[in-house]
């Protein structure tokens, strides 16, 4: 079997058009060789040198490679929504995290891309904040705009979990928000009237700055859905017997009733972490707090057991209409 000859070096690293190939001296028949594949109408990619009768192995097609191919063919596209979220490792539901569905924006004056499996959103680009830096060489939307464009993909609670991740900040621990609540709100103002705006507004009303993980977000929302008050986040107590430099902290809880809630996922199974958690719990006990440890298994049941424990603890400490545990404990 005839082995294809050399291929122009400047066409080897990215998709190219038929016109670019012809201008480089590549004939139409050469574009039908085993070392070239057609990636879209009028667009091709060199996939590597051929040795003998065996064609080169096709490169692994990932979402990133598909996006880079799209950008090479359509330089006007801007990556957004679930594609940016996956590339940056934002918390997403398992089904959304696992799929490959390039998601891009184009101007309303353009057409929807015909490439299979690509989600194109036609928008007024004047409303969109496009970042000046590149993400793996790609044009991409700001964190806040990306979050808004997830509103047509995620349900409300999943959107809150991503919003919590973006808005999370902790000056003492050096955590800076990727997108502040003000920036998220500004994005919604820019996109008023667009698909997803109602869900995004509902989600933003529930976004908080102190949630450290998607599980903590889910727990907070589950307690509220069960009719309980919204819990306080990242409750810290100082105790010199614990540390002179760091407070003992609870993921969430209720200062009013002195109830501390600790979500304990897989990272809490080790002996060292168990010892640390025990010392932390002792700090809260010494200061009159009740500790509720939440097992990761309750997460998959919707935190039903935890909600029942919290409801009972509030009732024991004066109930929802009481004046507050701190006042009661003083008497």
Residues 194 and 303 in one domain: no
pLDDT at 169 (0 to 100): 86
pLDDT of residue 32: 86
Question: What pLDDT score was predicted for residue 174?
Answer: 72
Domain limit, last residue, from 182, 204, 226: 204
- The answer on 122 and 184 residing in a single domain is yes
Q: Give CA angle at 16 (15, 20), nearest 5°.
A: 165
Query: What's the pLDDT at 19?
Result: 87
Strands lying side by side in the sheet with 16-17: 16-17, 43-46, 36-40
Digitized pLDDT (tens) for each residue of the chain, 331 residues in all: 567 778 888 887 777 888 888 999 988 888 888 888 777 677 787 877 776 655 555 555 589 988 998 998 899 999 999 999 999 999 999 999 999 899 999 999 999 998 888 999 999 999 999 999 999 999 999 999 999 999 999 999 999 999 999 999 876 667 789 999 999 999 999 999 999 999 999 999 999 999 999 999 999 999 999 999 999 999 999 999 989 999 999 999 999 999 999 998 766 566 677 888 999 999 999 999 999 999 989 999 999 999 999 999 999 998 887 654 444 433 2
Same structural domain, 70 and 143: yes
In a domain, 267, yes or no: yes
Q: Please report whether residue 286 resides in a domain.
A: yes
Rounded distance between C-alpha atoms, residue 304 and residue 310, angstroms: 10
123 and 238 share one domain = no
My answer on whether 200 and 69 are in the same domain is yes
**What range defines the domain where residue 131 resides?**
64-204
User: Are residues 196 and 79 part of one domain?
Assistant: yes
Residue identified by tokens 């919707």 is 302
Give residue 265's pLDDT: 76
Q: Does residue 99 share a domain with residue 165? A: yes
Q: How many residues does the chain have?
A: 331
pLDDT at position 177, please? Answer: 93
Same domain, 98 and 218: no
pLDDT at site 82: 97
- Give yes or no: residues 193 and 270 share one domain: no
Residues 86 and 119 grouped into a single domain: yes
**Domain boundary residue, one of 170, 185, 204:** 204
Domain identity same for 87 and 194: yes
Can you read off the two tokens belonging to residue 160?
């809150």
Q: How far apart are CA 177 and CA 185, in angstroms?
A: 14
Looking at the fold, whether 124 and 148 belong to one and the same domain comes out as: yes
The pLDDT assigned to 160 comes to: 98
Residue 104 is assigned to a structural domain of this protein: yes
Q: What is the pLDDT of residue 53?
A: 59
Q: Of 38, 59, 80, which residue sits at a domain end?
A: 59
| Number of domains making up the chain | 3
For residue 320, what is the domain's CATH number?
3.40.960
């Amino acid at each position: 079997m005839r082995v294809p000859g050399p291929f122009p070096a400047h066409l080897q690293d990215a998709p190219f058009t038929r016109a670019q190939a012809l201008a480089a001296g590549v004939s139409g028949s050469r574009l039908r060789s085993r070392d070239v594949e057609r990636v879209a109408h009028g667009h091709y990619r060199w996939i590597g040198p051929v040795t003998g009768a065996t064609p080169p192995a096709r490169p692994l097609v990932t979402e990133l490679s598909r996006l880079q191919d799209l950008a090479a063919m359509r330089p006007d596209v801007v990556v957004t929504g679930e594609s940016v979220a996956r590339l940056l490792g934002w918390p997403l539901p398992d089904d959304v995290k696992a799929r490959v569905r390039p998601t891009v924006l184009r101007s309303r004056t353009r057409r929807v891309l015909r490439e299979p499996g690509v989600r194109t959103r036609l928008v007024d680009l004047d409303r969109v904040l496009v970042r000046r830096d590149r993400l793996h060489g790609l044009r991409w939307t700001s964190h806040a705009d990306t979050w808004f464009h997830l509103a047509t993909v995620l349900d409300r609670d999943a959107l809150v979990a991503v919003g919590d991740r973006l808005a999370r900040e902790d000056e003492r621990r050096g955590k800076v928000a990727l997108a502040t609540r003000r920036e998220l709100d500004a994005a919604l103002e820019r996109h008023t009237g667009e698909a997803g705006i109602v869900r995004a507004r509902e989600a933003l009303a529930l976004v908080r700055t102190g949630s450290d993980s998607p599980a903590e977000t889910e727990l907070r929302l589950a307690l509220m859905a069960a009719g309980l008050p919204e819990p306080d986040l990242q409750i810290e107590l100082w105790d010199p017997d614990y540390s002179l430099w760091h407070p003992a902290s609870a993921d969430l809880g209720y200062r009013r009733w002195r109830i501390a809630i600790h979500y304990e996922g897989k990272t809490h199974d080790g002996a060292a972490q168990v010892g640390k958690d025990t010392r932390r719990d002792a700090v809260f006990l010494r200061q009159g707090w009740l500790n509720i440890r939440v097992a990761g298994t309750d997460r998959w049941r919707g935190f039903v057991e935890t909600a029942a424990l919290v409801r009972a603890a509030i009732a024991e400490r004066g109930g929802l209409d009481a004046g507050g545990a701190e006042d009661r404990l003083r008497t």
